[in-house]
Structure 1
């Protein structure tokens, strides 16, 4: 071997070692990301195509407690960062199909007649948002949730008309039968999804969960037990023509209006996006932990007056421990009196604080006791 060959061989070996050192980790990372994304894609295809015609996802349940809440994104373990959530408002209001337009006209006429007769307060046809779509991907490096929520303008009477999912149309079908595929629950026309709200699980400084009961006078879920705070997106309040709503700000508005709490008094974490597949209502689930206010202090605060007292007719304070909260959820007199997405909210809030293992063990023990 000549001197030149020896030098070339040595340089080649050194370059090979250098390339291996520099490229090995990036290649491993890229391969790992590819495998994760491929697995996610396979799960997505499985969900869409189903197994023997059945969807692979199921709605939230704890033993005998069955709900129509589909947890679309979020597991409670990790919060969803505000900067990874984008809200877009598309142009053009939602339009009902021609054969559903008379339903909206009926609602408007009924509200006018009831107001004229003095039988009840007329419902205000407030400007709302309909959900055009919710797109979820992952950030490039950390694989965190990356969410885009697309909304369209609508109003309250359109929402009420679209809630009649099982009413017969002139051809004998129902909106649920005509427009919804039970094996593709994330796919629906915007006019059937005229509701997006936030639900907050509030935990006091002395570790009590606030559980509220909805007023009998509200249109949606009267008398049901629900989240600490529930607030729907309003075009009039949350955007006022200036841009897209901020979900965290909507949650803060609910905290202020329903519990008289200001942002500096709590920490707020977005836990999940959830769909009530029965009523086609979307929700962003939050947990709020009060920094200093105890249960007694919050009771006193609320007793001095809150802006939206009319929305609730009762409030309870439950120890924020897995066993206590799960026992409350499965209580025989409450089993069928929960607002559809509330059990999933409380489960996710428990997981965020106590860990998935502790919560699932408490749920398993509680379910065994019900058998």
Structure 2
């Protein structure tokens, strides 16, 4: 290299540094502004305002999986303390409107006929609760949820009659059209909300999520894949007419009856309250982490006998990691076979363990791979 080449190199380097200092950042800023304006222009061309305000009450979905589950309270990250939930049982049983009362009579007659002929097992008209209202507020200082659940007595035949939301009434209307407003999903008469239950997402000691498939013999959601444990409130069992039911105790009963697991073998956390707006069925969403039982241990325990074996026809175990659970939810043979409240339950259980950011990133990645 000659002296001239060395001088030229030094001068070029100096000019390069000066150019970078003076012009690089302004050029980057200009390029960023051009990109941002282009993106805005594209969005303004493709976006169409339908002129209709969009409701804050959107039901739960992940990519192609759309459910009728509305998460009313709870985000998965903050647990709802047992003392934050107050349950009140009001006097006076729920009564169906005059035009729907014959539907209940039909169900009672059908069940009597089934028992007399032996064509199928008769459904027991068990005492249940209907939801009069669910009010949620916040504590003054910590802003923790404060939940007040108001219930009324009802029975299973009334529930079955009220599930016929799209059956025609004498005037041609339906219970759904006459009594429900889609823009006010929390407002409904108690006779259309004769179901409140608990759903539990159970995670084994070796970090496997327990998924149950409902029996083909049950009246509600036969053959659908659902939560690890599902248990409805019973006036006969959960309160015996003497006190209001405790939701944590109902969840513990479900764990015992469906999985044969005792309270000292797991930790139980209330995550949310959810509503199936299509069927008007309420749920308290829990997660339970087993302290000692692995997936194989739980299978062995179930094989020794459980009280409510008939309610489920099979169980599956899924690694309790966001990508694995979301991929399982969106499997082609599962995506349209879920009980409506289950996907939101599993999402909230994942958030409680892994954090919202990790779960939402996994959901986005899985959905992208499906496209």
TM-score bracket for this pair, using the shorter chain length: 0.7 to 0.9
Correspondence for 1:242:
242
Correspondence for 1:298:
298
Q: Number of matched residues?
A: 321
Correspondence for 1:368:
368
Taking the aligned partners of 1:158 and 1:345, their CA distance within structure 2 comes to: 27
Taking the aligned partners of 2:327 and 2:184, their CA distance within structure 1 comes to: 33
Mapping 1:59-74, distance limit 5 Å: 59-74=59-74
Task: Work out whether 1:261 is the aligned partner of 2:258.
Answer: no
SS in 1 for 2:347: helix
**Aligned-residue offset at 1:56:** 2.3
List gaps (5 residues or longer) in structure 2: 1-50
- Deviations 1:242-295 (CA, angstroms, capped at 9, x unpaired): 110000000000000000011000000000000000000000000000011111
Taking the aligned partners of 2:297 and 2:122, their CA distance within structure 1 comes to: 36
- Deviations 1:206-264 (CA, angstroms, capped at 9, x unpaired): 00000000000000000000000000000000000111000000000000000001100
Correspondence for 2:15:
none
Taking the aligned partners of 2:54 and 2:106, their CA distance within structure 1 comes to: 37
Mapping 1:213-224, distance limit 5 Å: 213-224=213-224
Task: Work out whether 1:333 is the aligned partner of 2:333.
Answer: yes
Correspondence for 1:311:
311
Contact 1:212 1:314 in 2 (8 A): yes
Correspondence for 1:288:
288
Correspondence for 1:143:
143
List gaps (5 residues or longer) in structure 1: 1-50
**Aligned-residue offset at 1:370:** 1.4
Taking the aligned partners of 1:352 and 1:195, their CA distance within structure 2 comes to: 26
> Taking structure 1 as reference, are residues 253 and 234 closer, same or farther at Cα in structure 2, changes over 3 Å only?
same
Taking the aligned partners of 1:183 and 1:53, their CA distance within structure 2 comes to: 11
Correspondence for 1:56:
56
Give the TM-score of the pair, scaled to structure 2: 0.86
Which structure would you say has the larger Rg?
2
Taking the aligned partners of 1:320 and 1:277, their CA distance within structure 2 comes to: 28
> Taking structure 1 as reference, are residues 358 and 53 closer, same or farther at Cα in structure 2, changes over 3 Å only?
closer
Q: CA RMSD in A?
A: 0.7
Mapping 1:1-371, distance limit 5 Å: 52=52, 54-371=54-371
- Deviations 1:321-349 (CA, angstroms, capped at 9, x unpaired): 00000000000111110000000000000
SS in 1 for 2:99: helix
Stretch of structure 1 that moved more, 53-62 or 337-346:
53-62
**Aligned-residue offset at 1:57:** 2.0
Taking the aligned partners of 1:336 and 1:298, their CA distance within structure 2 comes to: 27
- Deviations 1:70-105 (CA, angstroms, capped at 9, x unpaired): 000000001000001000000000000000000000
Taking the aligned partners of 1:186 and 1:338, their CA distance within structure 2 comes to: 23
